[in-house]
Amino acid sequence: MTSKSSKRFGKDNLSELVRKFSKNDVIAEIEKEFQTKTGRTLPLSVIDDNSFIKRVRLPETTVEQVAKSINEKGLWNPLVVRPSGGHYELILGRKRFYGAKKAGLASVNCVMADVGDEETLLMLLADTRDQRNGNVVEMALVYQALIQKFNYSPQTLANLSHQSRSQVANTMRILKLPDHIITDICLDKLSYGHAKAIASLSDEEIERVCELIHKEHLSVRDTEVLAKQYASLPQVAETEAEALKKVLGAAAVADRRTSISISFETPEEKNAFVEKLLGKK
């Protein structure tokens, strides 16, 4: 059984891995390398989704399009897998994997990659990076795993992904969003721009803003403006509460929409306030 730890390609060190995987065409090179090896036909039932990115759902329309293409033209490239216990774990070809299942194939051609977790993650990163419509959640999960398992720095991730450190940080912030929002991003129901704009809000605020995004068809720019307004509300509310307490002589909280809540420590204080409000002595 192949270990899933940190087995490397040959004796490459970190700097060599970074140089290799920062290339634009590294996946094409890897697939070409693997395709020179003897492939194996494996039942789909013994191939498991990649453990690092299995939470990333694919849009059903994408899977259906791939399935249609497979039915018409066949599986154009083998999947790249690695041994995992009595099964095999998918590394490259996730859309083809789900498309083949949708198309009703019982088995597919695969090539074996005798690699550990680190190389698997680097292959996933390069593949996602170089896709025309790479999934931002997948990239974020790969970043997270490389940091947690192999202590990659944000700068190293930036070099590998051809992004700035701030872009890497913004991508990873997506993982702090509620699970169903992350699913919406995966399924193209919410764009990365929208997600980035709301990532710093509270869960309650995120729900409110997302509802407006879908209901009002807000652009990313509109969402950014709205998110900034929400982000500034707590400080405004505290200022209002202090002012109201001075004027009313009671604890008052202005909510984030159109009402004010006033609370009293005793019923007598409430009665006294009402009498004062009505002009009674």
Least confident of 45-49, 86-90, 131-135, 160-164: 131-135
For residues 63 and 67, give the distance between their C-alpha atoms in angstroms, rounded to a whole number: 6
pLDDT at 45: 96
CA 73 to chain centre: 32
Nearest to 145 by CA among 114, 124, 174, 167: 124
Pairing of strands 107-112, 40-43: antiparallel
- Residue 195 inside a domain? The answer is no
For 219-239, what is each residue's pLDDT tens digit? 999 999 988 888 776 544 445
Number of folded domains in the chain?
Answer: 1
In a domain, 46, yes or no: yes
pLDDT at 70: 95
Mean pLDDT of 78-98: 94
- Is the pLDDT at 50 greater than 50? The verdict is yes
Mean pLDDT, residues 52-68 taken together: 95
> Which string of b and e fits 245-272 if b means at least 16 CB within 10 Å?
eeeeeeebebeeeeeeeeeeeeeeeeee
Residue 252 domain flag? no
Q: What is the pLDDT of residues 112-164, one digit of tens each?
A: 888 899 999 999 998 888 876 678 999 999 999 999 999 999 999 998 888 99
208 occurs within a structural domain = no
Which tokens sit at 101? 């299942």
Please return the burial class of 82, using the count of CB atoms within 10 Å of its CB with bins 0-12, 13-18 and 19+.
Answer: buried
CA angle 227, 233, 234 (to 5 degrees): 120
Global pTM value: 0.74
Q: How confident is the model at residue 32 (pLDDT cuts 50, 70, 90)?
A: low
Whether 95 has a pLDDT exceeding 90, the answer reads: yes
**How far apart, in whole angstroms, are the C-alpha atoms of residue 120 and residue 267?**
66
- Asked if the model's pLDDT at residue 63 lies above 50, the reply is yes
- CA 238/CA 225 separation, integer angstroms: 21
List, in sequence order, every beta strand (DSSP E) within the chain.
40-43, 47-48, 79-84, 87-92, 107-112, 251-254, 260-263
Is 150 contained in some domain? yes
Amino acid at the residue 155 = Q
What CA–CA distance (Å, rounded) separates 155 from 163? 9
The average confidence (pLDDT) of the chain is 82
**For position 76, what pLDDT does the model report?**
80
Which residue type occupies 130?
D
171: pLDDT strictly greater than 90: yes
Structural domain harbouring 27: 14-189
- The first and second tokens of residue 205, run together, are 């605020």
255, part of any domain: no
Report the CATH number that the domain containing residue 149 is assigned in CATH.
3.90.1530.10
pLDDT given for residue 173 in this prediction: 94
- Asked whether residue 64 is assigned to any structural domain, the reply reads yes
235 within some domain: no
